[in-house]
Structures are given as C-alpha cells and as structure tokens.
Amino acid sequence: MAAILYKYSMINSNNNGNSILKSLETSCCFLATLFPKVFCTLVLTWSLYVLLFIFPNYIKSSLNLTILNIIGIILYVLCIITYYKIILIGPGSPLDYPELRINNLNRMIDENPYNSNNDDPIDLPPESMIIHTMKVNGNQGYRYCTKCSVWKPDRSHHCSSSGKCILKMDHYCPWFSTCIGFYNYKFFIQFLSYVAIYCWFLFIISARILYKFITQGLFEDEILSLNLVAVLILSFAFAIAVSVFAIFSIYLCCKNLTTIEFQEKRCNYRGHANDERFNYEFDNNGKRKKLNTNIFDLGVMENWKSVMGPNWITWLLPITVATITTTTTTPIISEEDFNNGINFKVNEEIYTKYLHNAELQQQLNQQLSNYKDRLRRERQANMV
C-alpha cells in the first residue's frame, strides 16, 4: 500500500512539475510576443514627446513649429494605427473557411484521393477553390496541410511560428509577433512607408537644429538635449533600415510576389521547379526559353491595386480593402471574389501559354506511351 501511495505521489509530483514548466513556457512566450509591441509603441511615443516638448526649445518660429507638430502627430497616428492593424487583423488562414477543412486526413495520406475507381472517393476541395487553383503538389494533386488538416489554396504556406497555414504568406515578422499575409500585407507596406517618412522627418529637423546649434555658437550658452541627440542618431538608423524594407516590399507588391515566392524564384528551392514545369515558350527558331514573369503578374498598376486598393485614398490611408465574405459569422468562398486570399487573378497570356505547354506535354506523354505499347506488342509477337 505504501509503495502504491509513493508511486502515486511521484506521478502527481511529475505532473505538477510538467504543469509548472508548461506555465513557465507559456509566460515566456507571452512576454516574448509582448516585448516588440511595447518597444515599438514606446519608441514611437518617445519620439513624439521629443518633437512636441524638446524641439520647441530650439525652434523660434511658432508657425513652423505648429506645422511640424501637425505633420509629426499625423505620421505618429498613422504609424500606430497600421502597426496594431497588422496585429489585430492578422494575415488570414485557410482554417477560417470551414469549406477548406479536411475531415478524412488519414485517408488523404494513405490513399490516392484522385482515384476514380474508389468505391468511396475522398472529397476534393470545394469547387470555388479548384476552379482557380494553379499550383499542385508533387503528386499532381491539390495541396493540403497535414498539420492543419486543411486544403491549401495558391500561395498559402504553413507557418511553424504561428502554428497554422497562412493565406498568401509573405513572412513571419518578430516585430509584430505575427505573420504577414493576405489581409495585413497592405498595412505592412503602409507601416514601413509611414515609419520611413516619419524617421526622415525627425532626422532632418534634429539635424537642422544641431547644425544651427553648432554654427551659431549656441553651445556656449545652452545645453544640448540628449533626447535630441538620441532622436538624431536613432531616426537616421531606422530611416535607412526601414526605407530599404519599404522599397523592397513595394517592389514585390508591384511584381505581385511574396517574399517566399521571390526566394523560390531566386533560389529555386522547395520544389519550385515542379511548379514551373510549363513555364516556358518557344521562340521563332523553335528553341525553348523560359517565361520571364509569374502567372499572377497582372502589370504594375493592377498588382498594386490588388493589394493597396483601387484609388489613392486607400493607398494613403489605412483602410481595409480585403474582406471576408460571410454568412452570419461563417466565412464562405465566393467563386467570383478574388479578394479573399483563396482565389487570385492570373495573367491570361501566361495562363494560355501554360495550358498550351501542358497540352503539348500531355500529347507527348500519350505518344510516348503508345510507342512503348507498340514496342511491347512487337516483342511479344516476335517471341511467339
């Protein structure tokens, strides 16, 4: 009896220890995700404080000071709004759509879901997804995620940091503790742009103040604020770094590429060669050459509008342009909707070439199969 009680107490002790470790891990993860939010908010707010309460000590013109304060406040508000919109709206996930969930994942893995001879065929993705899907997996089937038990639309990827699949995944950003994807990509570009402008704005003002402070000999009678020096240094550093990211993100947007697709196209990894098996055409001399664009490239302006919205108001302001079609509270997929992260418009010219190449490849495979069958029959006839 004593041995049983001892064993039971040891089990409880181990369970309590595991529970404590689990709680500690959860707390650490929470603090890790909380830190970038607090840091970014405090840095932006501190910079606004310096603009409103430190800069006036060195700027004598009340009109100039008022104009600078208004511009600074507007940029600060835009930065804060877009920062938290990125976090609160999130990137979107196929898991948001009940139609894309797979209820028989084990059969998907063990059997061929596209075998028409099955007495009990496995369900295919919803027609609203199939009709526009361009990419397939290595087995020439529609892509699905074994971790999320969900169908994966074009441009979706599983994020190990978020623990789920992301619609039109661009990358995971630790500064937001979330993924950048279909629904928050617009605000990500705007945030980078606002922050870059805000940093250059602060740098120019603080640099001008410091220049006058030195050239006019004000250092003999006044003490230069350390806050001003800190803003000068930090704003310049952040302006350079963020501007590079902003320009790169705008470039990808104009090309209708995500960061993942850019890397796949550049480095040719993750089986990207399979996705581009029909990405070629023949020149006038009959030589095969690779197509120089991706199938989602609709032209610079259309690419830009597909992310940033239809007009300059949505380009400049943090207004949501991507919406989820719902019935009551359940998201649904609309076949006509290209603004949901499931379906994407394609370049019709490239799409036509893809289809033509696929038909040629199918004809070639059929001819090769017929040729092999004929050779086999001839060998069998000769043996007789």
Give the DSSP per-residue string, 92-160: --GGG-GGGB-S-HHHHHHS-TT-TT-SSPPPPPPHHHHTT-----TTSS--EETTTTEE--TT-EEET
Instruction: Please tell me the distance from the alpha carbon of residue 180 to that of residue 259, in angstroms, as a whole number.
Output: 10
Non-local CB neighbours of 140 within 8 Å, separated by 6+ positions: 114
Summarize the confidence of residues 31-49 as an average pLDDT: 92
Alpha helices in 290-347 (DSSP H): 300-308, 312-316
Q: Give the three-class secondary structure for 174.
A: coil
**Local confidence band at 267 (pLDDT 50, 70, 90 cut-offs):** low
Q: How many CA atoms lie within 13 A of 181 on its CB side?
A: 28
According to the model, what pLDDT value does residue 272 have?
46
Q: What is the mean pLDDT of the chain?
A: 80
Residue 95 near residue 148, CB atoms below 8 Å: yes
pLDDT in tens, 303-322: 999 999 999 999 999 998 87
**Local confidence band at 336 (pLDDT 50, 70, 90 cut-offs):** low
Summarize the confidence of residues 194-215 as an average pLDDT: 94
Q: Give the three-class secondary structure for 268.
A: coil
Instruction: Find, among 169, 157, 178, the residue nearest to 89 by Cα.
Output: 178
Residue 325 near residue 333, CB atoms below 8 Å: yes
Read off the amino acid at residue 171. H
pLDDT in tens, 244-258: 999 999 999 999 999
Instruction: Find, among 91, 115, 241, the residue nearest to 166 by Cα.
Output: 91
If you search the block for the tokens 């993750």, which residue do you land on?
Answer: 270
Percent of the chain with pLDDT over 70: 72
According to the model, what pLDDT value does residue 273 have?
45
**φ and ψ at 172, to 5 degrees?**
-95, 125
- The reply to whether 40 belongs to the active site is no
**Local confidence band at 68 (pLDDT 50, 70, 90 cut-offs):** very high
**φ and ψ at 331, to 5 degrees?**
-65, 140
Alpha helices in the chain (DSSP H): 2-49, 62-89, 105-110, 127-130, 185-215, 226-255, 259-267, 272-275, 300-308, 312-316, 348-383
**Local confidence band at 269 (pLDDT 50, 70, 90 cut-offs):** very low
Non-local CB neighbours of 306 within 8 Å, separated by 6+ positions: 256, 298, 338, 345
Query: Among 40, 159, 173, 254, which one carries the catalytic annotation?
Result: 173
